[in-house]
Amino acid sequence: MPGGLLIVGGSLAGLKAAQGARAAGFEGKLTVVGDEPTMPYDRPPLSKGLARGEITADECLLGVDGLDADWRLGEAAVALDLAAREVELASGERLGFHHLVLATGSRARPWPGPGAGLPGVLALRSVADGARLATALRGARRIAVIGAGFLGCEVAWSARSLGLEVCLIDVAERPMRPLGELLGERCAALHREHGVELRLGTGVEGILGAERARGVRLADGTVVEADLVLVALGSEPNTGWLRDSGLSLHDGGILCDPSLATVGSVGVWCAGDICAWPHPVSGRSAVRVEHWTNASEQGALAGRNAVVEPQERRPFESLPSFWSDQCGTRFQAVGFPAEATREQLVERSAEGERMVAIGSHEGRVVAAMAVGGARRMPWYRRQILARAGVDELLEELASDAKSFPLVGEMALR
């Protein structure tokens, strides 16, 4: 088949797309383009095992045996020509395709203020970043982490477990905003109990230092001293190279139909962080999700749908889920917490170390968030997929012998 299957993106979603295509019986030419020089690797360990020096960078690599693929790594795609059905690389080479899967993921959002280029100011996105962070942590005494999202909280805990003094900073009033007020407060309490200093509800004016970072000046004028600064301000989808392609953009991503085919084009599919697609639970015309499970599952389906007959294509209806291990505790969520307008604490153990909250919109459950409640999440996943109403869920919960006692509710501010 001329051009075969071309996958642009050499990380998790791209790898899963290649595996999905082969599993569906595709035997043609398979090419994977990636801007990093490294074979596909797993990102979750970067902020934990790799940062703490418990594993090596090689141990983060994912298996690619049996794919029979041409790996074009270390060179970015810079343009897509839909009419010619070609992708242009940074070298000027153009690769033709019959099927195309776009899976270029995200990049770390950079610090936009003073001190961004100082030595000792790090970001964490790639395995190379993880190796640099691991080395820096071994030589540091005190780290300031700007951003108390999942990544920032995980690095804060890793640094604290290595014995560093840690200050976790965020303009929000509580860490890990997608988990809501109740679990966010629990996360803050756990970090404080383990010796992490939290400076919440205040922004950052700049990173201080001349030859090297020596601290952070907060918006209230106070200074947090540190010999290492990690910037964890979230991510930005890698779609800039597609702005002139003719593909439809939505929320920074590429607009797709339920089968993950890009809207307005033929033979082009999308997966992972850059994919914006309609999910039946979200209630929005399109939603974009930046989590490991979503990238993995979307990649596999996009690769499959790209090579099967049209009548065999399947919609992507898997419910997003994510997790984060911190302070010896696992935080989890399933569904769409950002769509919730009301939060209710529905389960809590007697000691309060395990709890589950639900998020709802217009009386329908759209998300569940848990701390220490891993065994409860499959039940909530089923309720969300069944479009359960809040009252219906609470009735079933009251008769569920495995649940913790119902303790109350609160409205989101």
**DSSP sequence for 328-365:** TEEEEEEE-GGG-SEEEEEEE-TTSSSEEEEEEETTEE
Q: According to the model, what pLDDT value does residue 353 have?
A: 82
| Res. 407 pLDDT band, cuts 50 70 90 | very low
- pLDDT exceeds cutoff 80 at 402: no
Reading the block at residue 230, the tokens are 């990690």
Give the end-to-end CA distance of the chain in Å, rounded to a whole number: 56
Mean residue pLDDT of the chain comes to 93
pLDDT number for residue 27: 95
The tokens describing 268, both together, are 């082009």
Model confidence at 412: pLDDT above 70: no
136 falls in which pLDDT band (50, 70, 90)? very high
> In the predicted model, is pLDDT for residue 409 greater than 70?
no
pLDDT digit string (tens) for 220-229? 999 999 999 9
> b/e per residue, 320-338, with b = 16+ CB within 10 A?
bbbbbbbbeeebbbbbbbe
pLDDT band at 405 (very low <50, low <70, confident <90, very high): low
What confidence tier does 205 reach under pLDDT thresholds 50, 70, 90?
A: very high
pLDDT at 23 over 60: yes
| pTM (2 d.p.) | 0.93
Phi/psi of residue 152, nearest 5 degrees: -60, -45
Query: pLDDT per residue over 354-382, tens digit each?
Result: 899 999 999 999 999 999 988 999 999 99
Q: pLDDT: is 283 or 391 the higher one?
A: 391
| Phi, psi (rounded to 5 degrees) for 332 | -140, 155
What pLDDT is stored for residue 2 in this prediction? 57
**What kind and span of H or E run contains 294?**
helix 292-307
Span 293-308, mean pLDDT? 97
User: What does the pLDDT read at residue 413?
Assistant: 26
Q: Is the pLDDT of residue 1 over 50?
A: no
Confidence of residue 401 (pLDDT cuts 50, 70, 90): low
The contacts of residue 278 (CB under 8 Å, 6+ apart) are: 257, 258, 284, 285, 286, 287
